[in-house]
Amino acid sequence: MKPLAAWPAAASRALRGVFTDIDDTLTTEGAITADALQALADLRAAGLAVVAITGRSVGWSLPFAAEWPVDAIVAENGAVALLRGADGVVEKRYLQDAATRAANFARMQQVLAQVEHGIPGALRAGDSAGRETDIAIDHSEFVRLGQAQIDAVVRTMREAGLHVTVSSIHVNGWFGEHDKLEGARWILRELWQRDLDAEMAHWAYVGDSTNDARMFQAFENSVGVANIARFVPQLAHLPRYVAQGERGAGFAEFAGLVLAQRRPQS
């Protein structure tokens, strides 16, 4: 990982938009900071598209989709998009059809019960009531699980056929091959009829943990906030650049650099 300051100005000036994680990237101690919120607004004011992609539940994400200065929030690791209309009403769009979601939901509840009953200390995430397309076990938000417990949760979910990722706070599992990268591709087609892979050099991604690894691999303009150091040993793919600041401050640092590099040179 190179320091964020080493990011070429030409790459920043070529950006059309930014994708970002939420937990421990925009948020600090569970809440978005004023500097990160302002950074989102400043990026959009500069003409850039801004999309948050998160493992958080759709229910948890709904109020932020209505309030934050973003074009969309893609929740539950790529499965549900939340779009705010001109009237302020948030629309949900789903990657899977209703019948598939219903069948998967019933199966996932069985796996969730199996994890909670079979692994000491494992509890469903606090935002689980708002989940529609996945399940989540808390490991670092309100509950602290050791690595052996986290590994056991991951193993149990995978043995049940779920796709599994570990974020900075939760272990998420779902049926389907989608993830944050597929969610990014999908939302770009949905909103702007654009092909992300054809213009990857014009987009950036900012994240902080292991469930961002595929994004770090795919985006040449990939940035980690400083607290990514915690997950470096577990990351199959590292971001190209890393900010000095942690969490919301790191995102604000990223946005500040982008905006400074895009200003006309005197």
Residue 100, amino acid = T
CA distance to 37, 107, 113, 256, per residue, from 204 (Å): 17, 35, 38, 14
Asked whether 55 and 172 are in contact (CB, 8 A), the reply is yes
Asked whether the predicted pLDDT for residue 264 surpasses 90, the reply is: no
Per-residue pLDDT, 52 = 98
Q: What pLDDT band is residue 184 in, cutting at 50, 70 and 90?
A: very high
DSSP letter for each residue of 99-111? HHHHHHHHHHHHH
Domain boundaries, the chain: 2-95+179-262, 98-174
Q: Residue range 234-247: average pLDDT?
A: 96
Q: Which fold has domain 98-174?
A: Hypothetical Protein Ta0175; Chain: A, domain 2 (3.90.1070)
Find out if CATH 3.30.379.10 is the number for domain 2-95+179-262.
no
Q: Using one digit for the tens of pLDDT, what is the confidence trace for 103-139?
A: 999 999 999 999 999 999 999 999 999 999 999 999 9
162 phi/psi in degrees, rounded to 5: -85, 150
Question: What is the rounded CA–CA span in Å between residue 225 and residue 207?
Answer: 6
pLDDT recorded at residue 107: 98
Q: How confident is the model at residue 86 (pLDDT cuts 50, 70, 90)?
A: confident
Minimal CA–CA distance to 127: which of 167, 156, 87?
167
Distance CA 87, CA 71 (A): 14
Q: What is the pTM of this model?
A: 0.94
Instruction: Quote the pLDDT of residue 88.
Output: 86
pLDDT at 110: 98
Q: How confident is the model over 197-240, as pLDDT tens digits?
A: 999 999 999 999 999 999 999 999 999 999 999 999 989 999 99
Grade residue 265 by pLDDT with cuts at 50, 70 and 90. low
